[in-house]
Every structure is written in C-alpha cells, then in structure tokens.
Chain A
Amino acid sequence: MQRIGVFVCWCGSNIAGTVDVKQVAKALENEPGVVYSTDYQYMCSQAGQDMIVNAVKEHRLTGIVVCSCSPRMHEQTFRKTAAKAGLNPYMVEIANIREQCSWVHKDMIVGTEKAIILGKAAVAKVNLNAPLTPGESPVTKRALVIGGGIAGIQTALDIADAGFEVDIVEKKPTIGGKMAQLDKTFPTLDCAACILTPKMVDVAQHEKIRVFSFSEVSEVSGFVGNFEVTIKKKARYVKEDICTGCGACVDKCPVKKVPNEFNLGMDNRKAIYIPFAQAVPKVATIDPNACNMLKAGKCGVCSKVCTAGAIDYTQKDELVTEKYGAIVVATGFEPISMEKFDEYAYSQSKDVITSLEFERLTNAAGPTQGKLLRPSDLKHPEKIVFVQCVGSRCASCAEKGKEYCSKICCMYTAKHAMLTRDKYPDTDVTVFYIDVRTPGKNFDEFYRRATEDYGVKYIKGMVGKIVPEGDKLHVQGSDLIANEQVHIDADLVVLAAAIEPDKSARPLATMLTASMDTNDFFTEAHPKLRPVESPTAGVFLSGACQGPKDIPETVSQAGAAAAKVIGLLAKDKLLGNPCVASSDENMCNGCSSCANVCPYGAITYEDKEFRMPDRTIQVRRIAKVNPAVCQGCGCCTVTCPSGAMDLRGFTNSQIMAEVDAICK
C-alpha cells in the first residue's frame, strides 16, 4: 500500500480564485492511500518544494500528488523535488487543476468538484505507480556518414573537427557526388570544383576521417550509441593503399569504348578508370564488365604498366564490421529517367538533354572541354529551349513524374540560360516555365538578372511536343500570357528533370528502420523542430535524402546534422526515457503484431526456454523491447492480443484506475 501525500497549490489566485483549495485538500484526505493532504500558495516555490520534502520525510510518503498547473509546466520540477526527498521521481503525479480546470471554469462549486475528481484520478494512478529507472547505455564515440556528396563531406568534416572519428561510406569510386559534376553554382556562380575539391582534399587528409569508397552498407544492427554496421567494400581490382593514381594504366588500357558515367554517357572512358582528375581517393578502378582480363583472362596491360604493382585481378568483395554511436544518412538524389516523357523526344534525339547533361557540356572538364556544342553534330547551337518542371509537380501518373516541386530547377535553369547568353551572346535562349520559384537569398535577383541583363526569354507556359526533323527540334508550346501557341525551331533542348532520392535509399531505410515518405525521402523526427533527426534515435539526415535541396541548404543541414551527432557523441552515457513498453514474457505468444506497428523497430524476438509446471522445458518465441530504442508511444500495447505488452508509466491498470476514479 502506498503512503501518498497530496499537495494542492493555490497558484496565488489563479487556482484559488475558482477552486476551493482547502476543500480539495480535505476531500482527497480520505482517498485510499492518502496519509497526508495540504495546500499552499505556491507549491513550485522554494518554500513549497521544501514543504514537500519535509512531508515526505515526516510522513514516510511513497507517492506524491500535486494538484497544480499543467504537468507540461512543472512535472520536471516536482520530480526533482521528489528525488531530493529520496523518492523515485516517477512516483509523482500531477492533477492539472489550473489550465484544465480553474482557468476554463468560472463557477467555484463546479470548479472545486472537478478539481476533486482530477485529484482522485491522480491519487488512483499513484497508487499503482512503480519506481522507474531510466536505462543507461554507453556511447561508441564514432560516427558513420553514408554518402560522400557535399552533404556527407560537410557533415563528416564538422564531426571530425569536433574531435570524433568519422567513416564515410561512398558507393562510387570517389567522393564528391553530384556537386562534382556541376559547372557553376548559383547564385554566385563560383565554379563547383573550386569550392568542392578543397573540401574533398580536407576529407582525404583529416586524421579523424576514413573514406570507404566504392563501398556500400550491407547490414545494420544495434541502436542509438551502439550501432554495428557491416560495410561491403566492392572489389575494384586495384590495391587502394598502393595505387598512386598516376594514371599510366588508364593511358594504356586498350578498352576505350565504355560509356563514361561521370559525363552521363556523353563520352567514353577506359575499362580501368579514375572518374575525374580530383577524385578522392585518387585510385584507379577496374570495371569488371568491360575489362578483357576479368572477362576473358586476356590482356593484363594495366598490371604490366603499373610500377607500384597495385593491380590485383583476384580481389574479392570484402566485408568489414565497424561500431558507431551515430549514423548520418546523406544518400542524396538523382534526376528521374526521361523515358516516360518522350513527348519531349529525349529518346529520339541526342540534342534533347537533361540539365545535368548540360552541366557536363558546359564544364571545362566535360566531354566538350566546356565548349557549348550540341551532342549530335558538335555544332554550336543557336537556339536553345529550356523546359522546366519535367516530371516535377506531376500528379497524374506515379510512374511518370513526382508530385512535389524539385526546388532547384528554377535556379539552375536561370543559371544555365544566363551563362549561355554570357558566353555566347548570339544564342537565342528561351525558357518555358509554369512558375518561377526563387525563394532564397539573392535568388530572385539572380533570376531577374537572367532576363533583364542577359536577355533570356521567359515564356509562361509549357512545351507539349518536340518533333525532331532534320537538324532542328520543332518545339511546340503554349504562351499563356500571349494566349497563343508558340513554335520554335531549336537546335538544343534542355529538360529540367525532376529529382528523386537515390535508389539506394529505400533498402538503407529498411536496414536502419528509419521511416520514409511515399516519395522515398527520409522523414524527419519533426518537420519544423527536429529537421535533421530521423525518428529513429541515433540516425540523422543530411542533404537531399530528406527532400530536394540546393547546395547552401544542404551545407547548412549537413552542419546541423553534425551538431546533433556531436551532441550525442559528447555524452558518455545515454539516459533513456523509462516510460517505455515492456512485454510480459509469460503472456507473450510471439505473434509479431507489436513489431509490425512499432515505428522505431524497437521490438525484436528471441526464443526462450520456459520451465513448465510439469517440469518439461518449452521453447517459445517472445518479444523483447529495446528500452534504448523505444520512445514510449504505446501503440504496441493496444495491438498486443494477449495483453503481454504494457507501457511503463502509463500501464493499462493505471489508465483504467484513472477512468474508474473519474467515472465514480
């Protein structure tokens, strides 16, 4: 039996004005378990708290009910008071007689009556309270960043600069991501490589950072502070630690006609290749689908020319297991396929290209060395049409496009149009737009410059059909402002393809039990207040894997994610919320219902031996809740068909007791 003390607060006249506090204290005196009941002007004041501490000692109280303001206001205060008095902090319950009673009711009799009932409910609950202790778990002071684009790079650098070790896992042979493929960046038009490659070098040289390039995460287990991750290092057939990146092998490789992914297939690379000059790590990789030696056992030229002896045709995929305290997802985006948009004749003409292809065409390190030449005949295009929103804001067909706005296209299209007019003033540039969306610092000014200073023609309307004929692309579109259909014979058409999350994101989310939205973007723990945390504790989000983002936004989010990781890794131990679910193993039948509804993946199953009354041993599958992962929503308790699952702090019997007390 509990020994409960009831403390009714006046809150000056806030409560006492509408509730007869003396009468409340008196009425609760006779409730089961109550051994002491009093009232005071300000329970939260030092004097009020001292009063509670003294009463606990004097009356040997085991539980406390404070009838006061909202628990959202002072629950923590009174829990600390209880701890000071030597009680378990979770033996305190608050009856909210201010916000939910005195402030909303005007009649003293009615208010007092309700306050008494709320007090009774709190007493009934405390009678069933049990001391709770938050679980503690150690923290592995290392972080894993998945994805080596600008988001991953920035997050890794920020964490490493704070003194923690970071590993980056990148699936491509080099870090750098999409930004490495860009030419200039809006709105300042810095060259992407000039601002990105120094950061890549910083990563390579940072003593706290390790890069697993050409690698993928293949398994994740554990929980916040204690993840165990298996990384698959794909065979690149070149010993990474020996290769000097001299490029002699690339020069001599006889297989020359492999489409170059880095230039989006607009030129060719060799079977052994270094994606681009500033690659990190600057190590060659052999493409096993193209290499004669690996396909047919004939050739071996690269091995012969490599003075360092780095070529290893026998290399196999290798699995490495590492421990981390925090994981940052930075898997980024890719442009959607234009396959379903053939009204724009992407498959029919080489001169219909995507914006990312245009970046490569204008990049000094690209297939045309930065000269704007159209892919079909390498002639300078005189008329260029840009089409925005290709696949963005497309709700009619999920296979075709994406319902969301891809966010970055308005700005990069303005950039492309402006740069074209700047470099080639004789070029006629037209942009078809639905809306021009430029909310960002100096963004609208940038777009206006494109039209006002550079003479880019913006047409409010959409292209409906592109017909390649001869060496021209006949573009048919609408001009809604002029209310006419326009026909332009263009030399080059650039499609602003929608962006979507990288394909690797979905399987990764499953491994991490991190939730995703219907578009496969990772969901944040709270859209406004916790934008860089995933709902899964210890998993953080950086960059476009969470939603379309430009570079400035990505970098700020990357820094924010790093700050959250640093905050986590700075702790030696993690204190959990003790109000978590737990399963009674004697009642659990291992049906998996609870795990199916758990948003956090906190529930696992294990086989356990039970000693039966007839002394036989029975092995049964039972649910186990990981208290470090459980957030205490209680969804599983309702799903559980056998009633084995319960939520500490809000047990079935506690809630039922409250219902009883209110309804009596």
Chain B
Amino acid sequence: MKVTYFPGCTLKNKAKDLDRYARECAEILGITLEEAENWQCCGGVFTTAGDEIATKLSSVRVLKAAKEKGEALVTVCSACHNVVKQTNYAMQNDRSFADKVNRYMADEEPYNGETQIYHYLELLRDVVGFDKLREKVVNPLKGKKIGAYYGCLLLRPGKVMGLDDPENPTVMEELIRALGAEPVVFANRNECCGGYVFAENPELAKKKSTAVLSNAKANGADMVITACPLCKYNLQKSASDVPVVYFTELLAEALGVKESCNE
C-alpha cells in the first residue's frame, strides 16, 4: 500500500529520528510512505478562529495533493497531524470556511475534505493491525516498562481528532504491548507538556513537564514515548530523569532495524 506522507518541518531537521524510523518500519509492514511534493509547513498550530484562512492553506494544499493521487495522507508529528486533521474537519463541516478557501485557491476542482488522514499510530492500529505487527517483531522489548505520553495534540479536540478516547486513550499502550513491552498507564499522559509557552515562560513549561514525567515514574515507567517533537523537547528539559524517546524509535528497535537506520 502506498500513502502520501507529510513529514513536516521538524522531522526534516531536529526530529530526524522520528522520520527515519517511521519510514523504515512502514516498509517492513508493507506500507510505502511517499513524501508529498513541494509540501509546506503545516503552521505548527491550528488557529481555532473560523475567520483565519491564510494560515490553513498549506494544510489544504497537501490534503488536496493526496486527494489527487487518490491516496490517504499520513503524518507522524502530532502537531502536523492536529493541524491537518482540524483543517480537514473544517473543510468538511464549515461551509463558509470551505467556500472561502476554495475561492482563494481558485482551482478547478474544489476540495471538501475528501482525503482520509491517518496518524502513523492509526496506520499501525487500523491498517496494519497490532496482531500483524506483533508477528513482525524480531526483538521483543521484554521487561521494559514504558509509559505512553499522548499530550494534547493527538487527542484533542476529541470530536475532531477521533484518534482515541481523549480521556482514556489506548493506542500507544497497545503498541507497547505489541512490541513485547509492558505499558504503564499514568493519568498525566494527556496533560499538557507546556507547549510553546516555554519561549516566554520556561518555568511554567518545566513545571508541567515535570508533573508529567514524575507521574509516569511514580506509576513505574522506566521510559516514556511520545509522537511530538515539542513534547519531547519540553519533557527533556524537565527536572525528571526519565528518558523520553519517539515511539518510532521503539518500533524500529523491536522490528530490528534501529541499527540499520542509523548507518
């Protein structure tokens, strides 16, 4: 299966790990991530205001590109995923917004939110299936106790994202289990890491990140995984010593391709 892949700015730069492992593992699982041509930055944050058009156009372009190829669109970065999915939802449900966007783009065929979007985790769960993934694991992560940190962007707003139960998500826990490790559920897994506020108020970001990791540690996690580069950044700056890695790194390790990826 071939899908259109939207890596986003960070995965080309500071979060190369997230990108490299994701592509390699997808191949093993029978999915080719074909990078969208001429993609532009998603914008980082979805502006909820209905009258903001310009900041959402780059997302519409990549969605449209996937539609033209007749493929689903896959993202790995939580932020990209949030922005693209929310934009698509607005294109489907907010008539006046969609009209304005289509008029602005002035293409022949209007876009009305037809593209199917998967987060990489959804791809694993809904397309590959965790049972099949389990079969492909060559290096089960036995004995590791891993906490899954979702943050906000993957889950909220729940109605729009539809990725999982926003208060009790399970997709990463299932992934951890499929890779042979033991998931550690902790309540702060969907609490904010501090987000972009670190730029102005690093203390606040640090406080929030510390609360997340200390809760994970108190519940017995040796390690925390995330899908978001900003979360990872904030968490690593916190006062806690719990290691934070991208979920794709864990996946690559279990599938036995971590070394080859780094060559």
Give the chain B neighbours of A348 by CB distance below 8 A. 185, 187
Structural contact, A465 and B187, CB atoms closer than 8 A: yes
Give the chain A neighbours of B214 by CB distance below 8 A. 469
Judged by a CB distance under 8 angstroms, whether A607 is at the interface is: no
Q: How far is the CB of B162 from chain A (nearest CB, A)?
A: 12
Judged by a CB distance under 8 angstroms, whether A4 is at the interface is: no
Give the chain A neighbours of B185 by CB distance below 8 A. 348
Per-residue CB proximity of A310-354 to B under 8 Å, as 1/0?
Answer: 000000000000000000000000000001111101011000000
Which of B168, B188, B218 has a CB less than 8 Å from the CB of A339? B168
Give 23 A-B contacts (CB < 8 Å), ordered by A residue.
A340-B165, A340-B168, A342-B165, A342-B167, A342-B168, A343-B167, A345-B187, A347-B168, A348-B185, A397-B158, A397-B159, A465-B191, A466-B187, A467-B186, A467-B187, A467-B188, A467-B191, A468-B187, A468-B219, A469-B187, A469-B215, A469-B219, A470-B218
Structural contact, B188 and A341, CB atoms closer than 8 A: no
Closest to B158 in A: A397
Q: How far is the CB of B19 from chain A (nearest CB, A)?
A: 32
In whole angstroms, what is the CA distance A340 to B165 when docked? 7
In whole angstroms, what is the CA distance A470 to B219 when docked? 7
Interface residues of A (CB under 8 A from B): 339-343, 345, 347-348, 397, 465-470
Do A340 and B167 form a contact, CB below 8 Å, given A467-B187, A467-B188, A468-B187? yes
Q: How far is the CB of A339 from chain B (nearest CB, A)?
A: 7
Interface residues of B (CB under 8 A from A): 158-159, 165, 167-168, 185-188, 191, 214-215, 218-219
Which of A345, A466, A469 has a CB less than 8 Å from the CB of B218? A469
Do A467 and B167 form a contact, CB below 8 Å, given A345-B187, A348-B187, A397-B159? no
Q: How far is the CB of A400 from chain B (nearest CB, A)?
A: 9
In whole angstroms, what is the CA distance A85 to B167 when docked? 76
Most chain A Cβ neighbours within 10 Å, of B159, B168, B219:
B168
In whole angstroms, what is the CA distance A345 to B190 when docked? 12
14 new A-B contacts, CB < 8 A, other than A465-B191, A467-B186, are A339-B168, A341-B167, A342-B165, A343-B167, A345-B187, A348-B185, A466-B187, A467-B187, A467-B191, A467-B215, A468-B219, A469-B214, A469-B215, A470-B218
Q: How far is the CB of A475 from chain B (nearest CB, A)?
A: 11
Give the chain B neighbours of A397 by CB distance below 8 A. 158-159
Q: How far is the CB of B193 from chain A (nearest CB, A)?
A: 15
Closest to A341 in B: B167
Q: How far is the CB of B71 from chain A (nearest CB, A)?
A: 31
Q: How far is the CB of A519 from chain B (nearest CB, A)?
A: 20
Shortest 5 CB-CB contacts between residues of A and residues of B: A342-B168, A342-B167, A467-B187, A469-B218, A343-B167
Q: How far is the CB of B151 from chain A (nearest CB, A)?
A: 14
In whole angstroms, what is the CA distance A347 to B189 when docked? 14
In whole angstroms, what is the CA distance A466 to B167 when docked? 11
In whole angstroms, what is the CA distance A397 to B188 when docked? 23
Closest to A349 in B: B187
Q: How far is the CB of B254 from chain A (nearest CB, A)?
A: 26
In whole angstroms, what is the CA distance A348 to B167 when docked? 11
Give the chain A neighbours of B158 by CB distance below 8 A. 397
Closest to B190 in A: A343
Give the chain B neighbours of A345 by CB distance below 8 A. 187
In whole angstroms, what is the CA distance A348 to B218 when docked? 14
Give the chain B neighbours of A469 by CB distance below 8 A. 187, 214-215, 218-219
Closest to B218 in A: A469
Q: How far is the CB of B39 from chain A (nearest CB, A)?
A: 34
Give the chain A neighbours of B219 by CB distance below 8 A. 468-469
Give the chain B neighbours of A341 by CB distance below 8 A. 167
In whole angstroms, what is the CA distance A549 to B88 when docked? 44
In whole angstroms, what is the CA distance A466 to B215 when docked? 12
Most chain B Cβ neighbours within 10 Å, of A340, A465, A468, A469:
A469
Give the chain A neighbours of B159 by CB distance below 8 A. 397
Give the chain A neighbours of B186 by CB distance below 8 A. 467
Q: How far is the CB of B247 from chain A (nearest CB, A)?
A: 21
Closest to A468 in B: B187
In whole angstroms, what is the CA distance A340 to B169 when docked? 10
Closest to B167 in A: A342
